[in-house]
Amino acid sequence: MIAITLPDGTVKDFAQPLSVAEVAAAIGPGLARAALAGIVNGQAVDLTYRLTESAQVSLITAASESGLKIIRHSTSHLLAQAVKELFPSAQVTIGPAVDNGFYYDFAFERPFTPEDLQAIEKRMQELAQQALPVRRELMDRDAAIDFFRAQGEHFKAEIISEIPAGEAISLYRQGDFIDLCRGPHVPDTGYLKAFKLLSVAGAYWRGDARNQQLQRVYGTAWPDKKALDSYLTQMEEAEKRDHRRLGKELDLFSLHEEAGGGLVFWHPMGARVRQVIENYWKKMHQEAGYEMLYTPHIANLELWRTSGHLDFYRESMFGAMLVDEQPYQLRPMNCPFHILIYNSHLHSHRDFPMRWAELGTVYRYEMSGVLHGLFRVRGFTQDDAHVFCREDQIESEILAILDLTLATLKRFGFQEFEVNLSTRPGKSVGSDAIWEKATVALRHAIMARDLKFIEDVGGGAFYGPKIDVKITDTIGRKWQCSTIQLDFNLPERFDIYYIGEDGGRKRPIMIHRALLGSLERFFGILIEHYAGYFPVWLAPVQAVVVTITDEQNDWATEVRDRLRQRGLRVEADLRSQKVGYKIREHTLKKVPWLLIVGDQEKREGTVNPRDCAGKTYGAESVEAFADRLLEEATKH
RNA sequence: GCCCAUAUAGCUCAGUCGGCAGAGCACUUCCUUGGUAAGGAAGAGGUCAACGGUUCGAAUCCGUUUAUGGGCUCCA
């Protein structure tokens, strides 16, 4: 008797051994059709897996994350099968399921072209229609190595040779194609109904740039055509909010080949948003007890030798330039400069905490291939600050920084936070006691604010522990902007100190922190978060006064000026175009409010507001509208 | 940096086999004075990314450079 326990606790008894598929059939015909694989005593297995004794069994369908993963993984095998049929000399390597799809890396003598991808996808569809059974086979490890070697599949042979000798290796066969795989897989290729190859890219064998370069074919796969289509539409939606596209459409910023990669030019409309961000940031910092600093963008290389950047940060720095025969370095960070200010006079224990902030522009050498819009650039402005304090102030300072961080991020429309706490790595500077104290302070602060956090044990920098805060945007993507890091290294290197109560020299604690990270990158995130529809307080143009005929030009100008006097960013569109034309244009520019003025409004001294979605509210006085807009700009 | 792709008017993009450089939008001027997402006409606008090569002839073919895009972590 075999007793099968199902996830809901019910037990079914069977007289003789049976397959997982038969268990599914015994539960119901719907499940039998939907089942892709099973889980037996916690182990994922194929539907053909034979149960010879009592077990806990559950079934995997496409509705679950693991079911999707199986479909994607099986589709990657289908891809490999099609490639081997069309290009027999290609060697297969690995092909896992990834978020939203799968990839497979091949070694092939020439690059795959887009036409090749089309041909491969077509062949995949044919193979899927044939509903080829996917069968699992076991082979002895050494036999498997010989088997793949004989087929010229050296990468596979290499993978297997790392599996301990004597272990049985599982292979999956569909048609003439055999691949080394742990499984499980769908029962036959007919289960693969909705997939699409997306791109081909270079990737290194085992992700190591010193190894052979392979060709990675990316694809996406879903349980049915509907899900595939909805994914593809979602991709298009994400593309519509791409900050590079919106940056152009809304005339916010540009990058120039003439200037070089990764260098950002802020246009007037982008600069307006940046100014709002900066003004808000400065106000928040002044209220939180920070002083503002301004420091140079370049300094004698010797300073970077002292700070240690020349050793541990060299590959991210631009090459030095000669000035009066002395090497000078463009700054990749602001911290050494703040330390020079610290060291410009003697400090007492009574001076602390000292909180120094700077919107500091830095330059970092990023490899040409990683540059990406505003997200990865070579010159950017950090919203940097350094807090110098005594050991007994660490905990309260960290908490204050965390609160400032959360308040700031919330103001920009981010509500969900995830925190990473990175602790002491193997190789590090500083005493055990101070690492312990700092790490506890960070942990206490996170817990005091009741934040979800993940502890990355040993993941800290060599100079101190840190917490990173991640935000989630409107479409669910996570971004890490904020970081709070203790630094036990720089104070040592620059020999910074203060005079303690006892008259002796003491080393202060230094905390680096950035809330938005880089203004460029944060701006890019904001553009995508709001899909270009900035809330009123950030919008570069908050309202446009639109005339119906040029009879209202004087009134429109007066309205604009009165609103500007209230501190609002307002333009007047006096062009002799039809209202519909002007409305369309400003709507496409995503201006939050349009104020239509015709003869009636002029006569009555009113404006007729229309929001970005096309809703109208009826005429109201200029002052009433200004009050409403100002209120909208202050709340969030 | 490496692999693949791309680069044509301000923007989005056509351009066949190597044979006179194109469209729509935007821009300028004129007409139009109109009530909530595109009124009409005319005009101007180009070193086809840069440099080199092949050719009688290159936007088109080849090479180099630059920039842009997709990747280069997700354990058979």
What distance in Å separates the CA atoms of residue A115 and residue A92, rounded to the nearest whole number?
20
Task: Choose among A360, A440, A391, A393: nearest CA to A289.
Answer: A393
HSE-up of residue A615 (Cα within 13 Å, Cβ side): 4
Residue A265 CB lies within 7 Å of the nucleic strand B: no
Nucleotide lying nearest to A254, CA to C1' measure: B68
- Sign of the dihedral through C-alpha A338, A340, A345, A349: positive
Residue A327 CB lies within 7 Å of the nucleic strand B: no
Domain spans of chain A, in order of start: 2-61, 66-232, 253-294+334-525, 296-330, 543-634
What distance in Å separates the CA atoms of residue A57 and residue A41, rounded to the nearest whole number?
6
Task: Choose among A633, A553, A558: nearest CA to A598.
Answer: A553
In chain A the first and final C-alpha atoms are separated, in Å, by: 65
Query: Fold for domain A2-61?
Result: Ubiquitin-like (UB roll) (3.10.20)
Residue A200 CB lies within 7 Å of the nucleic strand B: yes
Task: Choose among A37, A44, A77: nearest CA to A60.
Answer: A37
What distance in Å separates the CA atoms of residue A494 and residue A516, rounded to the nearest whole number?
27
Give the torsion through C-alpha atoms of A54, A55, A59, A64, to 10 deg: 170
pLDDT at residue number A480? 92
Nucleotide lying nearest to A550, CA to C1' measure: B33
Tell me if the domain spanning A253-294+334-525 has CATH number 3.20.20.20: no
pLDDT at residue number A594? 96
pLDDT at residue number A403? 96
Q: Which of residues 229-248 of A touch strand B (CB under 7 A)?
A: 244, 248
Residue A474 CB lies within 7 Å of the nucleic strand B: no
Residue A596 CB lies within 7 Å of the nucleic strand B: yes
pLDDT at residue number A209? 67
Residue A207 CB lies within 7 Å of the nucleic strand B: yes
What distance in Å separates the CA atoms of residue A20 and residue A26, rounded to the nearest whole number?
10
Q: Are A583 and A594 within 8 A, CB to CB?
A: yes
What distance in Å separates the CA atoms of residue A497 and residue A499, rounded to the nearest whole number?
7
Tokens 């999707």 belong to residue: A68
Q: What angle do CA A396, A397, A398 make, to 5 degrees?
A: 95
Q: Are A60 and A38 within 8 A, CB to CB?
A: yes
Tell me if the domain spanning A543-634 has CATH number 3.40.50.300: no
pLDDT at residue number A287? 96
Q: Which residues are within 8 A (CB) of A158 and not within 5 positions of it... i.e. 6 or more apart? A: none
* Measured CA A428 to C1' B69 distance, in angstroms: 40
Q: Which of residues 37-76 of A touch strand B (CB under 7 A)?
A: none
Catalytic residues of A: 335, 364, 382, 384, 386, 466, 512
Residue A205 CB lies within 7 Å of the nucleic strand B: no
* Measured CA A322 to C1' B64 distance, in angstroms: 29
Tell me if residue A539 falls in helix, strand or coil: coil
What distance in Å separates the CA atoms of residue A269 and residue A248, rounded to the nearest whole number?
11
Q: Which H helix or E strand runs over A46?
A: strand A43-46
Q: Which of residues 82-111 of A touch strand B (CB under 7 A)?
A: 93-99, 111
Mean pLDDT by 10 residues, chain A (636 residues): 83 84 84 85 84 84 86 91 87 85 85 77 89 87 85 84 79 87 86 84 75 82 86 80 93 91 94 96 96 96 94 90 92 96 96 96 92 94 96 95 96 93 91 94 94 90 93 89 95 95 95 96 96 96 95 95 96 92 94 96 96 94 96 83
Which architecture does CATH list for A66-232?
A: 2-Layer Sandwich (3.30)
Residue A163 CB lies within 7 Å of the nucleic strand B: yes
One-character DSSP codes across A135-176: EEEEEEHHHHHHHHHHTT-HHHHHHHHTSPTT-EEEEEEETT
Whether residue A184 has a cis bond before it, omega within 30° of 0: yes
Tell me if residue A290 falls in helix, strand or coil: coil
* Measured CA A534 to C1' B26 distance, in angstroms: 24
Nucleotide lying nearest to A172, CA to C1' measure: B76
Tell me if residue A45 falls in helix, strand or coil: strand
**SS3 for A93-140, per residue?**
CCCCEECCEEEEEEECCCCCCHHHHHHHHHHHHHHHHCCCECEEEEEE
List, in sequence order, every residue forming a beta bridge with A218; answer none if it has no partner: A103, A199
Residue A260 CB lies within 7 Å of the nucleic strand B: yes
* Measured CA A401 to C1' B2 distance, in angstroms: 41
DSSP H helices, A460-549, are 490-493, 519-529
Residue A165 CB lies within 7 Å of the nucleic strand B: no
Q: Which nucleotides of B are covered by protein (CB under 7 A)?
A: 1-5, 11-12, 31-39, 66-76
Q: Are A246 and A532 within 8 A, CB to CB?
A: yes
pLDDT at residue number A164? 78
Residue A113 CB lies within 7 Å of the nucleic strand B: yes
Nucleotide lying nearest to A259, CA to C1' measure: B67
Nucleotide lying nearest to A598, CA to C1' measure: B35
One-character DSSP codes across A322-387: EETTEEEEE-S-SHHHHHHHHTTS--BGGG--EEEEEEEEEE----GGG-BTTTB-SEEEEEEEEE
**SS3 for A294-337, per residue?**
CCCCEEEHHHHHHHCHHHHCHHHCCCCEEECCEEEEECCCCHHH
**Neighbour-count burial of A625, counting CB atoms closer than 10 A to its CB (0-12 exposed, 13-18 middle, 19+ buried):** buried
Nucleotide lying nearest to A260, CA to C1' measure: B67
